[in-house]
Amino acid sequence: MYTQVIPISDYQLVFTGILVLVTACISALFQLGLLKSLLWGTIRCVLQLSVVGYALAWIFSVNRFEIVVLVIALMALFAARTATRRTPNVSDFPTVLAFLALVTTTYLVATIVSLAIIRPTPWYESRIVVPISGMILGNTVSAITLSIDRLYGEVRSHCNEVEALLSMGASPWEAVHELVREAIRSAMTPTINSLMVVGVVSLPGMMTGQILGGSDPVEAARYQIVVMLMISCAAAVGSMILVGLSFRRLFTKGEALRPNLFHSNS
């Protein structure tokens, strides 16, 4: 009943350019000014995914533990740099903190999924662990960006209340723990919303890819369940780690709010 993946030839891949032409025509028709960005984005997409495809083929063929660990660390580093550039309420946020949150979360969640759920042989099977880590990172980046941006935004909006609590003898944690809770809640909300509608409103990319590759839809749904719960766990863990590593940066050594928090960066 289920067939193997239908290969896409070079000719078929080139023919998908017609989709770009449709988008370009819409941009030109409504004078959106997106033509150059669209063309450059398309070129980058093709080049980046082609390079990644060949790189993954090599990584899967070698299948060594240390290479898998290194690849995940490099992915986390690039993700951390992306995360720290998408926080309008935070200026000069240390990339190293975002990296620590991302790499710790990814190693932890990917190890649990590989060892306890999917259980390939060997357990660090690159064909399994690297794609899983990529999905974890891709979603955790959004979560930690939301959490840290929301934390700074909330503290900036409630700086008078925080200072009042500090003046009454509260510790920095006691002064901001409600705002920390709100930041983590904000980071997890999109993931929880996705859990609510997956399979009813949207058919996720991984499940669709497996079905197109000839997998049993029921088995593809099982994998998607694992992925969705894995992502929700990663969002919670990553946000908690980053906020935990970062909240002290809101205060001076004398446990007062930093002066720059009184001015918006957005």
Same-domain pairing of 83 and 187: yes
Query: Of the residues 62, 80, 107, which one is the last residue of a structural domain?
Result: 62
- 165 and 50 within one domain: no
Which residue blocks in 63-125 are alpha helix, DSSP H?
65-84, 95-112
Residues 57 and 72 in one domain: no
CB 246 within 8 A of CB 173: no
pLDDT in tens, 186-219: 999 998 988 888 877 767 777 777 777 777 888 8
Reference 148, options 251, 259, 258, 238; nearest CA is 238
pTM, to two decimals = 0.83
How many domains is the chain partitioned into structurally?
Answer: 2
Residue 185 and residue 70 in one domain = yes
CA gap 140, 207 in Å, rounded: 20
| Domain presence at residue 2 | no
Residue span of the structural domain in which 71 resides: 63-262
> Is residue 1 included in any domain, yes or no?
no
One domain, residues 90 and 50? no
- Residues 222-251 have pLDDT tens digits of 988 999 999 999 999 999 999 998 888 888
Q: Are residues 123 and 253 in the same domain?
A: yes
Band of residue 266 on the pLDDT scale cut at 50, 70, 90:
very low
Does residue 71 lie in a domain region? yes
CA distance 203 to 197: 9
DSSP conformation class of 170: -
Q: Are residues 254 and 187 in the same domain?
A: yes
One domain for residues 182 and 217: yes
Backbone angles phi, psi at 252, to 5 degrees: -80, 175
